[in-house]
Structure 1
Amino acid sequence: MGQPGGDGDPRPHRRAGRRRPLGGDSATPVTDVETRAERTAAADTLCVAAFEKVEAPVTGVALVAVGGYGRGELAPCSDLDVVLVHDDDVRLGGWAGELWYPIWDSGTRLDHAVRALPQMTAAAGTDLKVALGLLDTRHLAGDPNLTLRLRTTMLTQWRRDARRRLPELREMVRARHEQVGELAHLSVPDLKEAAGGLRDATILRALVASWLVDVPHPQLRAGHRSLLDVRDRLHALAGRATDRIAPEHWPGLAHSLGLEEAATQQHVREVGRRLTHLSRLTWRRVEAVQGRRTPVGVRRPELTSIAPGVALSAGEVVLDRGADPAADPLLLLRAAAEAAERDVVLAPPTAARLVRECAPIPEPWPRAARQLLVRLLAAGPGLLAVWETLDETGALPRLLPEWERIRLLPHASEIHRFTVDRHVVETCIEASALIRDVARPDVLMVAALLHDIGKGGPHEHCAAGEPIARDVAARIGLGREEVETVATLVRWHLLLAETATTRDPDDPATLDHLVRRIPDVTTARLLLALTEADARATAPKAWSSWRAGLVTDLARRLIARLDEDEGTGPPALGTALPATAPASPEFVVESGGDDCRVTVVAADRVGLLADVAAVLTLQRLPVRTVRAWTEGDVAASVWSLDGDVPDVAVLRQRYDALTAARLGVPARARPVAPRDLEPRVALRPDASREATVLEVRAADRTGVLQLTLETLADLDIWVRSAHADTLGPQAVDVFYLQESGAGALSDTRAAAAAHAVRDALSPPAPAHRG
């Protein structure tokens, strides 16, 4: 308890010096639950004997164990945490101070307190640590009814006040994790205080005791027991109470476990990671419960469909009604991407079922599977928890068999704060914030996933990773050029950082060195983004302002040397159009494999593309790419779609109703992703002499293209041609704009158009709270 007490007791509450291990000599191996039970029983015998020697009242006084002793988790060098509790009307005599002498004389370290029952209740109500410690109260001696009242009172109080007190507990846990770090990644693991350590296991039990949430008990029990076993061995080796595994302890721990030293470290990290995952999952569920009030009479959580076969229930992504994993090989990726983008829990039972039942993804992967993978990787902070769930449920070997090479692999360099696999996930999270800076965000995210895949072998990891990355990129269906770009990025992902800090940027030979390895501007910009993401994921000092300045300056010089050629006009888009426009728009639908295209030919006018986009939005048809062009008074557009193949008659009907103003269209619905980056809207004055070129990069969400086109139509701006692509989570749209019946926009009109589109696509400002 750590509180003063003891009725005139002159001795300190905690005896200093080397303590005698409980239940035997410190060299005795401590290996299992039975030994801990024997150690606890020996301590109980000692405490009971001490209590029986004093003249304590028969009723109204009890000696109880709390904390780790109350849970029966004594390690060889643990202290005994005990409280002498009494009713308020019981007067304690000198015997209360004499109680502790036999325990001290045995050489056992003792942490004790004397408290009246009302004092304990009050302390638990104001001090969260006291409340947690008293949840594990266990009777040792004296009045068992008093102990029962204490336990009942503490549990009742905890459950009654849980909703109010859990936010404070959450902040305590978060602060401890930030200060200590994660057990799975620390170079000197702290078995107790680190994230995924014994303290978290205890708090998970307290959360279960609140009755607000539950945890997978077999996993919690197994992980908790494993850490206790390791701590027992650590105490036996060190001959003192310690929770930190210093480098010199690993060989002895390995010997006591009968494992190699590397396998021992991996075992500890594995357990720490599993408990960290359980802790994060449980706290997510606590937050969901805190923000949700179940209506009276509702027994089952509501299912909200969010994607084909996928639903949201009680803040977790689960399977929708009627989902058939065996018939949908992309269901696992779709569920993971939705959970990560929404930053919610991917329900572990759902992931485990999908691992068992989903058919393998065809190789090479179809475009839809690749898009889902990139969306998952680019989801930002929501990726971490979902990736951990995929790891814990065995899904990652199905998606990326090569992941096992780096799983729980420690870094050789001490500057790294995480193991290799976690560093890779952190690199993806950092790269997700940079996708607006590159032309191919999909390639960036795949390269971020694979940049360290060559580690763990005898060869230099950049060179070893290149062929692996090439194979993976080809397997997930990237084109030949993209595969080579990914391989190049993996091979040279350290090039900019190493060159910037070791060579003179003003020496022509420095740029020659880079140009021989980096073939074009697109790759150079991707490499700069990957370099920044990799450094930020390593450690704060790895991307200091000084290092960032050196790398960025060198990258700019490289880009200038490569002399980017953007072209001077739109590429050829299709076959020649008819000489005269049809009397009414013509819709043609073609489908094959995972590709569906809608071609529209109509008389050209301002707002035509916006109307077609609105029709597709109403049909809930995600647009993958668009190519639009004009010849004379005839306009054509080809829309590549995801989702079901639309009915031509329905499209025509919707279009006619829209243009006749008989159909309400959510034209101004602002499409906001759960985690939108700010859109990038830029004018490219050198891209065309005949038109104003507007480039838009924004989160890929239904309605983005429609909103952009309608904004331009409202300004009476004619879209001469359009080139829209979806690359992972990002829409990259380029529009060639002209005044109706005239040429390029004036500078003023162009700036107004860019500003209006940026404003239309920007996430709404947070609401003010008065």
Structure 2
Amino acid sequence: MTETAADGPRLITGLASVRRGISAPSPERLASGDRSAGRDYRAVLADVTDAALVDTWAWAEARTGLSLTHGIALACVGSLARRDGGPEADLDLVLLHDGAMPDPDLAEVADRLWYAIWDAGLQLDHSVRTLADCRSVAHVDVPAAVGMIGLRHVAGDRNVTADAASAVLADWRGAARTRLNDLTSAIASRTSSRGFLAHVSEPDLKESRGGLRDARILHALAATWLADRPHGAADDAADLLADVRDALQRATRRSATRLSFREQDDVAAAMGFGRRRSGPVDHEHLRSAVPTAGRMPGRTEVGADSADELLAAVSAAGRTIRYALDTTIRQAARSAARPRRRVSMEALLAGRRPRHTVVADGIIAHDGELVLAVGVRPEADPGLALRAARASVTTGLPLSPITATTLAACPEPHAATGTWSPDALADLLAVLAGGDRLLDVLDTLDIAGVMATWFPEWAPIRNRPQRTAVHTATVDRHSLAAVANLARIHPTPEHTEAGGIADPALLIGTLLHDVGKVPGEIDHAERGATIAAGTAARLGLAPEAAADVVGLVRDHLLLAETATGSDIADPAVAGWVARRVGSRRRLHLLAALTQADAQAAGPRAWTPWRAELVSRLVAAVDAALREKVLTDAADAD
């Protein structure tokens, strides 16, 4: 039967069912990496939604008896305007008018439209605005401005929509230089509440840093003409996140964007990732456990499954979008700054060149970023990337995107001799001692592929999720966060005696403490110790330091598990731990690693209660080791 306006807004009435009935891309096609499948699916969703809204507009015109062809229009913003919404997406609609229609008539039109949509069971975000209203809202509300610069016509007078869209866009461009700080503040505020998409176990695909909202902000920044946005990988990452969101909404039949534990398996299957899990996997590493001689108890399998593959892909996409946004914001900020005095052609011909600050061999500071000096050949300099990383941590200046990409051409630091040079090792240790600054620096280099040339063993834990209530980050991010935490630990006299918080063995051991969390491994600490032994040898660590690294990785769970699962007042427990650790130096390095590790795991892992128990255990073990030293000395006499 042909639908007409006189029959009522039947298209909108059945829209929810129609959208749910549209054939979704097959898991095989999604798994192939063909992102056009999802784009085509979302385009069909937009087409049927547009048709239903146009039909509803005609129905409202017939029911009100008003002419809705001049001076009034229905427009959309958000995902519908971009034509990239999911099957359960809200409808973000704006009733635009030129002010000529009497208020009662305008209210009647709005009521007809909005109630028809609500009666159809659809989620609606609506507003009624003049052109001046649009400009005013966009002026005071940055997120609203980002949405409104994509205003798209649906029905009615196209000129009204075009006037509003062009005015909002012109205002956005005109005020971009002064509003960039507002935009970055809004991003920071959202990040503090939603976290980083790449590093959380239950990410919000839209609101987390590096999510779909940030992908849209990239377009808004490009619209300012202050900066172009990265294409290619960033677009593919956004399409992947949209595909995952669509699968999530099909599974839940809600406009959900948070990928919670209970939906991850179903979404992974719909996306064509891996195999389904046969049972729960528990990665919690700070459980109660009673030590038994010769082996740490309570290890759990770290198994590969479809949800892990899904989360790893989401993590990689989030890192790509976040990096693209960060670099685009920096580019826009440089463009927005007052133009600096330029060097004239005459000055260049006379031999006067722009001044640059040399911060390391082959590395210079230029326009707020670190870049490579003229004539530097990365392919012939194994230590260049490490010097660049150290310079970035030391100065606080980011590596330019092209510099980070170029550094991937550097040979492996051990390529020539099989081990790192002392200078290369010193640069690495300086980076690892850099506190929070090391996080962005190493993330940038990891995205560029540089970390893999330093640590091939990093690949299996890169973007690897940890789906537990204790851990809040991927394995690689957790490991780096633990290293960064070392800089915040107030060193005790025992720490200083052991070599300090910046002790090479402590820095390397903390970096590698979870390197054994590879697919299928049952005892990640023992596996990690084996891997760490090879890494320490390749880095050229002294034998004692290499042994400490292996011991720290092997026993990184020892203090927390023993303190919470054993009677620490029992001298036998302290004696067992003392024999396991072997020395006061390693004990206090292990205590620092335990604290940094737990604090990086999340707020549940390092409570005052747990910290007190670990502190008491360390004191008891320290006393046992002191007594052993005295006893050994007496026996020697």
Which interval holds the TM-score relative to the shorter structure? 0.7 to 0.9
Find 2:615's aligned residue among 552, 573, 577.
Answer: 552
- Cα-to-partner distance string for 1:189-242 (whole Å, 9 max, x where unaligned): 322222222122122222232333443222221111111112222222223322
Percent of residue pairs bearing the same amino acid type: 37
The corresponding residue for 1:450 is 512
Q: List runs of 5+ in structure 2 lacking aligned partners.
A: 1-11, 27-36, 275-305, 345-352, 630-637
For 2:516 and 2:470, the matched residues in 1 are separated by: 19
AA paired with 2:509?
A
For 1:359 and 1:24, the matched residues in 2 are separated by: 51
Matched, 1:259 2:314: no
Query: How far did 1:254 drift?
Result: 2.9
Going from structure 1 to structure 2, the CA distance change for 1:541 and 1:342 (only over 3 Å counts) comes to farther
For 2:618 and 2:14, the matched residues in 1 are separated by: 59
1:310–1:335 contact (8 Å) kept in structure 2: yes
2:205–2:245 contact (8 Å) kept in structure 1: yes
Q: Secondary structure at the match of 2:16?
A: coil
Going from structure 1 to structure 2, the CA distance change for 1:152 and 1:404 (only over 3 Å counts) comes to same
2:379–2:409 contact (8 Å) kept in structure 1: no
For 1:442 and 1:287, the matched residues in 2 are separated by: 38
Find 1:428's aligned residue among 467, 474, 483.
Answer: 483
2:533–2:550 contact (8 Å) kept in structure 1: yes
- Cα-to-partner distance string for 1:148-178 (whole Å, 9 max, x where unaligned): 3222211221222233333333233222222
2:78–2:147 contact (8 Å) kept in structure 1: yes
Matched, 1:338 2:352: no
Query: How far did 1:100 drift?
Result: 5.2
AA paired with 2:320?
R
For residues 108-257 of structure 1, the aligned pairs below 5 Å read 108-257=122-271
For 2:357 and 2:102, the matched residues in 1 are separated by: 61
The corresponding residue for 1:20 is 16
For 2:21 and 2:227, the matched residues in 1 are separated by: 41
For 1:286 and 1:555, the matched residues in 2 are separated by: 51
Query: How far did 1:281 drift?
Result: 4.0
AA paired with 2:531?
I
Query: How far did 1:44 drift?
Result: 2.1
The corresponding residue for 1:311 is 364
Going from structure 1 to structure 2, the CA distance change for 1:208 and 1:302 (only over 3 Å counts) comes to farther
For residues 517-536 of structure 1, the aligned pairs below 5 Å read 517-536=580-599
The corresponding residue for 1:641 is none
The corresponding residue for 1:74 is 85
2:435–2:484 contact (8 Å) kept in structure 1: yes
1:26–1:235 contact (8 Å) kept in structure 2: no
1:231–1:243 contact (8 Å) kept in structure 2: yes
Q: Which has the higher contact order (CA 8 A, sep 6+)?
A: 2
For 1:105 and 1:29, the matched residues in 2 are separated by: 29
Query: How far did 1:298 drift?
Result: 5.7
For 1:377 and 1:430, the matched residues in 2 are separated by: 10
For 1:131 and 1:540, the matched residues in 2 are separated by: 36
AA paired with 1:384?
L
Greater gyration radius: 1
- Cα-to-partner distance string for 1:341-370 (whole Å, 9 max, x where unaligned): 333322232122121254653321110010
1:383–1:429 contact (8 Å) kept in structure 2: yes
Going from structure 1 to structure 2, the CA distance change for 1:77 and 1:357 (only over 3 Å counts) comes to same
AA paired with 1:69?
L
How many residues get paired?
Answer: 550
AA paired with 2:427?
L
For 2:90 and 2:575, the matched residues in 1 are separated by: 66
Query: How far did 1:74 drift?
Result: 2.2
For 2:573 and 2:552, the matched residues in 1 are separated by: 19
For 2:515 and 2:139, the matched residues in 1 are separated by: 51
- TM (normalized to structure 1)? 0.66
The corresponding residue for 1:96 is 109
Q: List runs of 5+ in structure 1 lacking aligned partners.
A: 1-14, 567-770
Going from structure 1 to structure 2, the CA distance change for 1:23 and 1:535 (only over 3 Å counts) comes to closer
Find 1:384's aligned residue among 439, 463, 476.
Answer: 439
2:222–2:229 contact (8 Å) kept in structure 1: yes
1:71–1:136 contact (8 Å) kept in structure 2: yes
Query: How far did 1:412 drift?
Result: 5.5
Find 2:95's aligned residue among 84, 87, 102.
Answer: 84
Structure ranking higher in helix proportion: 2
For 1:559 and 1:393, the matched residues in 2 are separated by: 44
Going from structure 1 to structure 2, the CA distance change for 1:354 and 1:122 (only over 3 Å counts) comes to same
Q: Secondary structure at the match of 2:255?
A: coil
Going from structure 1 to structure 2, the CA distance change for 1:61 and 1:407 (only over 3 Å counts) comes to same
- Cα-to-partner distance string for 1:530-580 (whole Å, 9 max, x where unaligned): 1111111112232223322332233234334434999xxxxxxxxxxxxxx
Going from structure 1 to structure 2, the CA distance change for 1:284 and 1:18 (only over 3 Å counts) comes to farther
For residues 32-43 of structure 1, the aligned pairs below 5 Å read 32-43=38-49
Going from structure 1 to structure 2, the CA distance change for 1:318 and 1:108 (only over 3 Å counts) comes to same
Query: How far did 1:400 drift?
Result: 0.1
1:285–1:315 contact (8 Å) kept in structure 2: no
Find 2:374's aligned residue among 321, 342, 345.
Answer: 321
1:62–1:142 contact (8 Å) kept in structure 2: yes
For 1:419 and 1:233, the matched residues in 2 are separated by: 22
Find 1:63's aligned residue among 74, 84, 97.
Answer: 74
The corresponding residue for 1:48 is 54
1:281–1:345 contact (8 Å) kept in structure 2: no
AA paired with 1:61?
I
For 1:465 and 1:347, the matched residues in 2 are separated by: 34
1:316–1:344 contact (8 Å) kept in structure 2: yes
Going from structure 1 to structure 2, the CA distance change for 1:301 and 1:167 (only over 3 Å counts) comes to farther
The corresponding residue for 1:603 is none
For 2:357 and 2:175, the matched residues in 1 are separated by: 31
1:432–1:445 contact (8 Å) kept in structure 2: no
Larger deviation: 104-113 or 154-163?
A: 104-113
1:21–1:77 contact (8 Å) kept in structure 2: no
For 2:592 and 2:113, the matched residues in 1 are separated by: 67
The corresponding residue for 1:607 is none
The corresponding residue for 1:691 is none
2:311–2:464 contact (8 Å) kept in structure 1: no
- TM (normalized to structure 2)? 0.79
Query: How far did 1:288 drift?
Result: 5.9
1:207–1:213 contact (8 Å) kept in structure 2: yes
For 2:611 and 2:117, the matched residues in 1 are separated by: 61
Q: Secondary structure at the match of 1:415?
A: coil
Structure ranking higher in strand proportion: 1
Query: How far did 1:371 drift?
Result: 0.6
Q: Secondary structure at the match of 2:409?
A: helix
- Cα-to-partner distance string for 1:606-649 (whole Å, 9 max, x where unaligned): xxxxxxxxxxxxxxxxxxxxxxxxxxxxxxxxxxxxxxxxxxxx
User: Superposition RMSD on alpha carbons, in Å?
Assistant: 3.0
1:284–1:345 contact (8 Å) kept in structure 2: no
1:26–1:236 contact (8 Å) kept in structure 2: no
